[in-house]
Amino acid sequence: MSSLLVAAIGIIIFILGYRFYSKFVAEKIYQLDPNYVTPAHQYKDGVDFVPTNKYVVWGHHFTSVAGAAPILGPAIAVYWGWLPAFLWVVLGTVFAAGVHDFGTLVLSVRNKGQSIGTLAHRLIGKKAKLLFLFIILILVLMINAVFAWVISNLFISYPASVIPVFIQIPLAIWIGYAVYKGKTKMLLPSIIALVVMYGVAILSSNIDFLQIDVVSYFGGEGAAGLFGMGAVSSAFLIWIVILMVYVYIASTLPVWKLLQPRDYINSHQLVVGMAILYLGLLFTNPEVTAPAASAASDVSWFPLLFITVACGAISGFHGLVSSGTSSKQLNKETDARFVGYFGAVGEGALALVSILAVITLFPSAGDFTAAYSSFAQANATGLGNFIEGASQLANGLAIPPGIATTIVSIIVVSFAATTLDTSVRLMRYIIAELGVEYKIPALSRMHVATSIAVILSAVLVLLPEGSKGFGSGGYLLWPLFGTSNQLLAGISLLLISIWLKRQGRNFLVTLIPMVFLLIMTLLAMFNQVLFQWSWFGSDANMLLFVLGAVIFVFAVWIIITAISTLTKNDIRSPE
Amino acid sequence: MRDKLKTLIQWYDEMLSLPHRSEVARELRDEDDLFMLLLYSEMVGIPNPVYYYTLELYPYMLEKFHDWHLRMGMEKSPLDGIRCC
């Protein structure tokens, strides 16, 4: 089957979803009012509340939510064949993610631009806010661990990407200072930075000593490394420690010094990356070689598929961005449809191209099945397959294979690194907030909170043992990341439903995706916790068992809260 | 065509600078807030942490203050703390 056809079908469904479904939701359910005075106007302060052009808000919203996660999830989920992953990405985006991102934006706009956490407090009660904080805490902890593993893994697999990625740091600091001092606009310097990075990537792909290959420094895969461990385990340890030291510094600096300038460069990378992939697809039109549905599965697709695709279809993290920054910048309430819903569509398009890159990589269905021989194997190699597939598409644009691989891995590492920075920073805020809530003032100190965040994340990523030994098992946490992210989306959908109910409107549009998400989460966790990770399960693992059990309890808690709040007949309205 | 390209670039630039602008504005606002606190903290009953440093400004302010209260139609200094005349 032609990959262009698959892409076209997906994109047409996205367009139809935006054109018709989001219009229906905007007019009949959320009832957007072009004359409503948005928080950006009402509380205009030139800092947080700034009325902004809808295309600009969309661009910022999309670049904030798009990252490595929507690439990684689908690249693993094609394990069950491309059709299930494709269907969930497309339908999930149209019916769940779009409504969720759009809804959190509207809910926040209608409530003074408050964040989801504050709204949970107001709409349900104080306990809901704590529940919310704990779920975000687990989510960011998973993000830290998974992405630290992703980056280390890519550095080990693609040593040519190390120097270009690290060069981004001084470049970003330089841009940050230049712009802060008001000497220059950011567009030109950030493009120069990108050119420098890719220039170095071309050099490092061709010159051996510019490739920081830690494993080979120990003498190859079989050689002994540090503390009696193998070379690969030692390489993981070294990279994870370096990354943790780096995120400690990065997440305690003011955002304009490093994080934001890196975001500009990454925005270019997102544009470049998506352009390369879709153009490559257009020019080469490769055949889809992967099977539509894979029968040889050691783990059933139901319900794990929905958890594995994760951000590719729906992500609770978007609600944090919608209600955190975008809602404070919306010029007109009717812009919410474009920013929220179309933002989700953009993310869906990224997930779609990730699927396409992987399913056109292999020469035959047999090779695909060999590469995705088990679920653990899919988890461990999914991202690598995406990089190979993406560089094969880039090859269609006459970019040499070695360089294309390096550039694609730089793009993925950059996204993952920014996500890591942001989520360590978020974790610090949450720990501080919990410190205030439980009256432990020491926790609200920046360095105490950051140390706790970094140490916990390092421990979590180092504990699970993968096929390559110590530190290589970070991918085992991916399903847990997926579930906690979906739980967060579940809470946001619950809040929108409660709000709609109190307005006397039809809330099935948000309730159905919520019930679906929560049931999938519960089933997946129940299966994995009991039959896989518990002491009598197939691969017993105390750490995953405890984490999974905690997430399971949270899911049950949300459902109980949902039932009790939605069946209560109060007329209290937040507006 | 050229105009469209220009608008596109402008839009892209604005998209990038959106968070940065607010962050710089926030730092500026924080500095302003701190300055306001230094100036007016005692008015709202918070002891001024830079009290002893403001005392050092006294000789510089004295002359200006004297001019000011004369201009305002007060022959003698209205504040006990400042004894210019």
Residue-wise DSSP of A119-133: HHHHHT-HHHHHHHH
Q: How would residue A570 be classed by pLDDT, with cut points 50, 70 and 90?
A: low
HEC string for A504-550: CCCCHHHHHHHHHHHHHHHHHHHHHHHHHHCCCCCCCCHHHHHHHHH
Q: What is the ipTM of this complex?
A: 0.76
Q: Give residue-wise pLDDT tens across range A87-109.
A: 999 999 999 999 999 999 999 99
| Domain enclosing residue A429, as ranges | 3-567
Q: Give residue-wise pLDDT tens across range A322-363.
A: 988 899 999 999 999 999 999 999 999 999 999 999 999 999
Which one, of A330, A304, A336, lies nearest residue A486 by Cα?
A304
Give the model's pLDDT for residue A517.
92
Q: Is B76 helix (H, G, I), strand (E, B) or coil?
A: coil
- Please say whether the dihedral angle defined by the alpha carbons of residues A154, A155, A160 and A162, taken in this order, is positive or negative: positive
Rounded mean pLDDT of chain A?
Answer: 88
Chain A residues close to B12, C-beta within 8 Å: 59, 187
Q: Give residue-wise pLDDT tens across range A513-552.
A: 999 998 988 898 888 888 888 888 777 888 888 888 888 8
> Is B15 in contact with A48 (Cβ distance < 8 A)?
no
- Is it the case that residue A278 has pLDDT exceeding 80? yes
A38 in any annotated domain: yes
Of A50, A63, A187, the CB nearest to B22: A50
Most distant CA atoms of chain B, gap in Å: 73
Give the residue-averaged pLDDT of A373-396.
90
The minimum CA-CA distance between A275 and chain B, rounded to whole Å, is: 15
**Hey, what are A294's tokens?**
């894979």
Helices A231-252, A446-462: inter-axial angle, 10-degree rounding: 160
Q: Is A224 helix (H, G, I), strand (E, B) or coil?
A: strand
Q: Which amino acid is at B76?
A: K
Q: Which amino acid is at A141?
A: L
Mutate to test the interface with A, among B8, B10, B11, B15 (most CBs of A within 10 A): B15
Interface of B with A in 24-83 (CB under 8 A): 24-27, 29
Chain B residues close to A63, C-beta within 8 Å: 15
CA distance A322 to A108: 8
> Is A185 in contact with B15 (Cβ distance < 8 A)?
no
Chain B residues close to A50, C-beta within 8 Å: 18, 21-22
Based on the number of CB atoms within 10 Å of its own CB, is A143 exposed (0-12), middle (13-18) or buried (19 or more)? buried
- Residue A486, CA distances (Å) to A104, A129, A135, A558 in order: 14, 17, 10, 12
CA distance A407 to A276: 11
A420 in any annotated domain: yes
For chain A, what is the domain count?
Answer: 1
- Is it the case that residue A297 has pLDDT exceeding 70? no
Chain B residues close to A57, C-beta within 8 Å: 18
Helix then strand then coil, % of chain A, to nearest 5: 75, 0, 20
Q: How would residue A462 be classed by pLDDT, with cut points 50, 70 and 90?
A: confident
CA distance A211 to A160: 4
Give the model's pLDDT for residue B62.
82
> Is B23 in contact with A256 (Cβ distance < 8 A)?
yes
> Is B17 in contact with A52 (Cβ distance < 8 A)?
no
The minimum CA-CA distance between B1 and chain A, rounded to whole Å, is: 19
Q: Is A421 on the interface with B (CB under 8 A)?
A: no
Chain A residues close to B15, C-beta within 8 Å: 55-56, 59-60, 63, 267
> Is B16 in contact with A46 (Cβ distance < 8 A)?
no
Chain A residues close to B26, C-beta within 8 Å: 47-48
Helix then strand count (H, E) for chain B reads 2, 0
A310 in any annotated domain: yes
Residue of B nearest to A57 (CA): B15
> Is B27 in contact with A256 (Cβ distance < 8 A)?
yes
Residue in this structure with the two tokens 């579930």, named with its chain if needed: A483
Q: Which amino acid is at A521?
A: T
Q: How would residue A429 be classed by pLDDT, with cut points 50, 70 and 90?
A: confident
pTM here is: 0.88
- Residue B67, CA distances (Å) to A429, B44, B59, B80, B85 in order: 51, 27, 14, 16, 11
CA distance A116 to A113: 9
Instruction: Give the other-Cβ count within 10 Å of A393's Cβ.
Output: 27
Which one, of A141, A146, A138, lies nearest residue A552 by Cα?
A138
Q: Is A184 on the interface with B (CB under 8 A)?
A: no
CA distance A70 to A73: 6
Residue of B nearest to A259 (CA): B20
Give the model's pLDDT for residue A496.
94
The minimum CA-CA distance between A7 and chain B, rounded to whole Å, is: 26
A477 in any annotated domain: yes
Taking the domains of chain B in order of start, what are their residue ranges? 1-46, 50-85
Q: Give residue-wise pLDDT tens across range A464-474.
A: 777 667 777 77
> Is A187 in contact with B13 (Cβ distance < 8 A)?
yes
Interface A–B counts its CB contacts (< 8 A) at 58
> Is B17 in contact with A50 (Cβ distance < 8 A)?
no
| Range list of H helices, A158-258 | 162-180, 187-206, 214-218, 231-252
DSSP A337: I
Of B11, B13, B19, the CB nearest to A260: B19
Interface of A with B in 75-104 (CB under 8 A): none
CA distance A428 to A444: 8
Q: Give residue-wise pLDDT tens across range B52-62.
A: 777 777 788 78
The minimum CA-CA distance between A120 and chain B, rounded to whole Å, is: 26
Interface of B with A in 10-29 (CB under 8 A): 11-27, 29
Give the residue-averaged pLDDT of A24-32.
95
